[in-house]
């Protein structure tokens, strides 16, 4: 009885061969890397949406997925991830224009020049993942109440996560 191992039905980690050590260690390290990259993605894509700081908070996540009750999609973007792209006085001009009704005359007189100078390098319609701000009609697509991420994007993300996890895990409910 003294020769029996205390683990009759399984091997203890220290009793396993080196190849099993490598497999188990890699199995633990890979989800760790996944967690780190997911946290970096959340920080990079959602930090500062509440307009208070460049750190990630619960409010940033809530705004990203359920929208902001404080204004339009354009205002939410200018308070959060796009805040550093424009000077404060130009952001104020855009906010004033939106809150005054976002009329075409005001767009042509002051907003268009701001967008041409600061935004069109990225938001010219060439990137399908960024809103097209070229022209008044396209801009009005983002001057709507911010309702957060649409259902299609959330479902697409869930499907991607399930397919990605299926390669390393056997089920996705």
Q: Around Cβ 68, how many Cβ atoms within 10 Å?
A: 23
Asked whether residue 66 is domain-assigned, the answer is yes
pTM for this structure?
0.58
Asked whether residue 88 is domain-assigned, the answer is yes
Asked whether residue 36 is domain-assigned, the answer is no
Q: How many whole angstroms separate alpha carbon 59 and alpha carbon 37? A: 21
Answer yes or no: is pLDDT of 102 > 80: yes
Asked whether residue 105 is domain-assigned, the answer is yes
Asked whether residue 75 is domain-assigned, the answer is yes
- Check residues 137 and 46 and name the one with the higher pLDDT: 137
The 10s digit of each residue's pLDDT in 104-122 is 998 999 899 999 999 988 8
Asked whether residue 92 is domain-assigned, the answer is yes
Closest CA to 148 of 95, 71, 84: 71
Q: How many whole angstroms separate alpha carbon 69 and alpha carbon 46? A: 16
What's the mean pLDDT when you consider all of the chain?
Answer: 81
Asked whether residue 137 is domain-assigned, the answer is yes
pLDDT at 164: 66
pLDDT at 166: 60
Number of domains in the chain: 1
Answer yes or no: is pLDDT of 133 > 60: yes
What is the span of the domain harbouring residue 91? Answer: 47-153
The 10s digit of each residue's pLDDT in 20-44 is 889 989 988 998 888 898 888 888 8
Asked whether residue 164 is domain-assigned, the answer is no
């Amino acid at each position: 009885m003294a020769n029996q191992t205390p683990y009759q039905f399984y091997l203890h980690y220290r009793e396993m061969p080196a190849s099993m050590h490598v497999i188990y260690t890699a199995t633990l390290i890979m989800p760790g890397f996944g967690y780190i990259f997911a946290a970096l993605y959340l920080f990079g894509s959602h930090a500062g949406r509440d307009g208070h700081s460049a750190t990630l908070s619960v409010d940033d996540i809530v705004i990203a997925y359920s929208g902001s009750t404080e204004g339009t999609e354009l205002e939410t973007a200018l308070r959060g991830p796009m805040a550093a792209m424009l000077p404060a006085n130009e952001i104020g001009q855009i906010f004033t224009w939106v809150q005054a009704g976002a009329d075409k005359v005001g767009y042509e007189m002051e907003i268009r020049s701001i967008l041409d100078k600061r935004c069109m390098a990225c938001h010219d319609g060439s990137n399908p993942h960024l809103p097209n701000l070229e022209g008044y009609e396209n801009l009005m697509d983002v001057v709507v109440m911010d309702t957060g991420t649409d259902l299609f994007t959330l479902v697409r993300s869930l499907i991607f996560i399930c397919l990605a996890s299926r390669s390393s895990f056997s089920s996705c409910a």
